[in-house]
Amino acid sequence: MSVLIDPAALRQTACELAKIGGVAARRLFGKVSVARKADNSPVTEADHVTQDAILRALAKRYPLHAIVVEETVAKPERHVEARASDYCWVIDPIDGTRNFGRGVRIYATSVAVLHRGRPVAGAIYDATSESVYSAAVGLGARRDETPLIVQDRAIDRETAVAIGSFRRHPAPAAVRGWMDQYLLRNQGSTSLHIAWVASGLVDAAYANDCKLWDIAAAALLVEEAGGLATGPGGEAIWPIDPAAYNGVDMPVLAAAPTLHRRLLADLRA
């Protein structure tokens, strides 16, 4: 059994790792070209360099913790297998690789830690502002040192909903209906979309083409800020078995409670 670790300490580490990743990515911004992985998703040298910088630092701090990451691990021997630890770090070195590769500074580094399949701390480095969003279970969410509380605003035509691209999956009828009701936004980074719900930059976020590493830190941010983050049917996202996770999509709807209920009803209709 793993020794329980103070969530505040885990949040601090997550923030440090996210900043390490943010600095590593920034050094290569505008200097790399985009290649394609086996699944045809984009990747750059910066994704690998950023991920390795984070993993080197993580291995020094928590050598007995497991990892789930987006890119190939350069030195897997530095980390234990997911089944061997109650703690598992989930890392997306650059969420928004298409933006990054095109020279668009809208991308993020996301770091979260799961304890027995549930996020207990996480941090997201936002390259657009160089701010760090962070959360720890029971300790709230914040942007840098500013506490975040989701606001239950009036729902009207100024309500902003961040959505994914729906290239691999058709957009649900509900999303097509939202085009006539709300302001829809796609900035190209799922983790930022959801983090921005916590900070009030958008009112909701919905994506059906996203992975564990896109949402682990961001969903905790919204929940700790007083919002809701669920599957598109209202189902709980957690717990998850990191050892069994194989890259399957994990659709998510995140919003303040009142708007979440409205959008969830649309998706269920």
Tens digit of pLDDT for each residue in 235-256? 999 999 999 999 999 999 999 9
Which pLDDT tens digit goes with each residue over 196-209? 999 999 999 999 99
Which pLDDT tens digit goes with each residue over 108-167? 999 999 999 999 999 999 999 999 999 999 999 999 999 999 989 999 999 999 999 887
Q: Taking the model in full, what pTM does it have? A: 0.95
CATH number of 7-148: 3.30.540.10
Q: Is 264 exposed, middle or buried, given 0-12, 13-18 or 19+ CB atoms closer than 10 A?
A: buried
pLDDT for 201: 96
CA angle 99, 100, 102 (to 5 degrees): 65
**Residue 108: what are its φ and ψ, rounded to 5°?**
-145, 160
Strand ranges in the chain using DSSP code E only, listed in sequence order: 35-36, 42-43, 66-69, 87-95, 108-115, 118-126, 131-136, 140-143, 146-148, 160-163, 183-185, 204-207, 228-230, 252-255
Domain boundaries, the chain: 7-148, 160-268
Confidence of residue 210 (pLDDT cuts 50, 70, 90): very high
- Classify domain 160-268 by CATH architecture: 3-Layer(aba) Sandwich (3.40)
User: Residues 7, 136: contact at Cβ < 8 Å?
Assistant: yes
User: Amino acid identity, residue 192?
Assistant: L
25 pLDDT higher than 70: yes
Closest listed residue to residue 69, CA positions, set 56, 149, 233: 56
1 pLDDT higher than 70: no
Same CATH fold, 160-268 and 7-148?
no
212-224 vs 190-199: helix axis angle to the nearest 10? 0
Q: How many CB atoms lie within 10 A of CB 201?
A: 18
- Say whether 27 sits in a helix, a strand or coil: helix
